[in-house]
Chains A and B, each alone.
Chain A
Amino acid sequence: MDYIGYSFLSIGVAFLLLGSLGILRFPDLFNRMQAGTKATTFGAIFSILGVGFMEPSWLPKTFVIVLFILLSNPVSSHALARSAYRKESKLWKDTVVDEYAEVFEVEKGGE
């Protein structure tokens, strides 16, 4: 059980570090958001599950925390991305695809 916990913790901590490195280094807001949300969520889930495996009596409570992170993080990042796009924050100059633009034009015309 200990070895599973250690390996889960190592994976999770490595992903946390890579995610925040992505927040620091990526060029625009939406790139940063995908590093800072997905990698960080994955890393946090793996670290918390690793702690749960090392102390098996805490496993139910860690499952509750993991479930909450898994439910709440996509919602908050979605709301942030949407509001940032609507405030017309700039995309990176090499951005290839922007599918929300057409829908956004229609929505703006309708208002």
Chain B
Amino acid sequence: MNETAFLIFTGIIILAIFLAFIRLLKGPSVPDRAVALDALTTITTALMVLLALYMKRAIFLDVALTYSIIGFIGVLSLAKFFEGRS
């Protein structure tokens, strides 16, 4: 993968992370922030896989899979926490 294409793709993904992060900072209620966090987990997984391709290191794929699993468990426990608090 050449340098320019990697820079363009990474730049667009970082812009996406930035947009979702604004919502994470200013979201009016707590579930809004949880939705933004859920999306951020997925976007970061894609970014890690792209980084693995650029650096030619297959171990980053395992990191991406683990990060995705941990994010899934985190969002589920957040949802359970909102529901049980009433």
Contacts and interface: CB of A to CB of B under 8 A. Distances in A.
A36 B38 contact: yes
Interface in A20-59: 20-21, 23-24, 29, 32-33, 36-37, 40-41, 43-44, 47-48, 51, 54-55, 58
Contact of B35 (A6, A33, A41, A47): A33
Report the interface size class on chain B: 35 or more
A37 B31 CA distance: 14
Contacts of A83: 31, 79-80, 82-83
Report the interface size class on chain A: 35 or more
Interface string B66-86: 001100100110111011011
B49 to A, nearest CB: 5
Interface of B: 1, 5, 9, 12-13, 15-17, 19-20, 22-23, 29, 31-32, 34-36, 38-39, 42-43, 45-46, 49-50, 52-53, 58, 61-62, 64-65, 68-69, 72, 75-76, 78-80, 82-83, 85-86
